[in-house]
Amino acid sequence: MVRSPVLIGIAALYDHDMRWPSSFYEMRDGDGCPMCAEGRPDSTTGGVRFYAGDYADAYLNRADIQRGYTIVIWRSRHVAEPTELSPEEASGYLQELLTVARAIELALEPVKMNYNVLGNSVPHLHTHIVPRYADDPRPGWPFPFPETEPRAIPTDVLERDLTALRSALAGGI
């Protein structure tokens, strides 16, 4: 069997003993969780809050990754996985997530929305909402997040989008 050089290169990336760091297990259990520690601020280094609900807060990302890229964060006790929520909590979180998504759809008019529930870096329940547009960099595929630190969204663009999102929410979606 002939192995592709690409496959050999990919295999080499994983040809070592990989383990989750001990800090991951501590955060997963709620010890040192940065999302718990920050409380419910109006602004973080990563984003600006435009929605505060009973179960979740939504932050428009400051990095120029994709217009409307939002992170919705569970805001109650520490929870790493959605399976840890009660049926009432799960319903409330999902309803608020969908309220935020509808605001993004109304204000920014994407052609598709992606919802990523990961928690691999910070094991606290949160959902990445990634709007996809007609001029998308990779239609039909997962969104290609940058491998290097992206620049910040210009302040006027960030403020314009925050105003549009807050207006959409105020309209009672």
Cα–Cα distance list, 101 to 53, 119, 120, 151 (Å): 13, 19, 22, 24
In a domain, 166, yes or no: yes
The range of the structural domain enclosing residue 82 comes to 18-136+149-170
Share of the chain above pLDDT 70, in %: 91
**Residue 108: which pLDDT band, with cuts at 50, 70 and 90?**
very high
Provide the number of structural domains found in the chain: 1
In a domain, 144, yes or no: no
Within 8 A by CB and 6+ apart from 115, the residues are 97, 101, 127, 128, 129, 130
**Residue 1: which pLDDT band, with cuts at 50, 70 and 90?**
low
pTM: 0.88
Residue type, 52: A
Looking up residue 34, the CATH number of its domain turns out to be: 3.30.428.10
State pLDDT tens for residues 139-148.
Answer: 999 999 999 9
